[in-house]
Amino acid sequence: MNARLPDITVVVTGVANLASVLAAWRRLGVTPHVTEDPDEVRRADRVELPGVGSFGAAMERLRETGLDAALSERVDAGRPTLAICVGLQVLCDASEESPGVTGLGRVPGTVARFPDRVRVPQFGWNRVEAPAGGPLESGYAYFANSYRLPVAPAGWTAAITDHGGPFASALWRGDVLACQFHPELSGAWGLGMLSCWIRGEVAPGGDR
């Protein structure tokens, strides 16, 4: 008999579309709990920080609720934490999208806008090239972003995608995983990534 999967605590940021996120976890047999209580985030076994919207609005909400400190503590301690789209971006130092707004500073670097020579925003499927040994394998993911982290930061393992040049489309260090793409919208490949991460497993090699 398969072991029961752990629950997931999903952070409310005020800028995220939670419906697809919660539906993806339920399809995997995972029970999601929604919260904006920083103490619950500190106590939770596994936490997801979803994100749709602007860097500045997300950071404002995190600071208003005290979630900024709770999430920073989790990342620093290497506790299981998943950040999606703007969730990845707010882990960084800053973003060109919101000048003067500081991020959580857990990932070194500034998020930058895609160059004008390519379509901005990037909407749709793109290739993710992932090194072996992590929670995701190479494949195609769904993106919806105008900004990205152009340089893979020191201290993190990175998956790379190209849109107007290479950028870090996913980062992980231990049980902390941050993705610029939306795994909940990325079909079987995305669900496979979520399943590997929630189980603490390494993804199989090759494409799905």
Catalytic residue among 137, 163, 184, 196: 184
How far lies 48's CA from each of 110, 124, 160, in Å?
22, 22, 21
Catalytic residue among 92, 137, 182, 196: 182
Contact 9, 40 (CB under 8 A): yes
Contact 38, 65 (CB under 8 A): yes
Catalytic residue among 85, 92, 179, 196: 85
Catalytic residue list contains 179: no
State the Cα–Cα distance between residues 162 and 150, nearest whole angstrom.
10
Catalytic residue list contains 201: no
What crossing angle do the helices spanning 187-199 and 18-27 adopt, rounded to 10°? 70
Contact 90, 110 (CB under 8 A): no
Residues 6+ apart with CB under 8 A from 169: 126, 128, 141, 143, 148, 158, 159, 160, 161, 179, 180, 181
State the Cα–Cα distance between residues 32 and 44, nearest whole angstrom.
11
Residue 188 CA to chain centroid, in angstroms? 17
Residue 23 CA to chain centroid, in angstroms? 17
Residue 142 DSSP code = E
Catalytic residues: 85, 182, 184
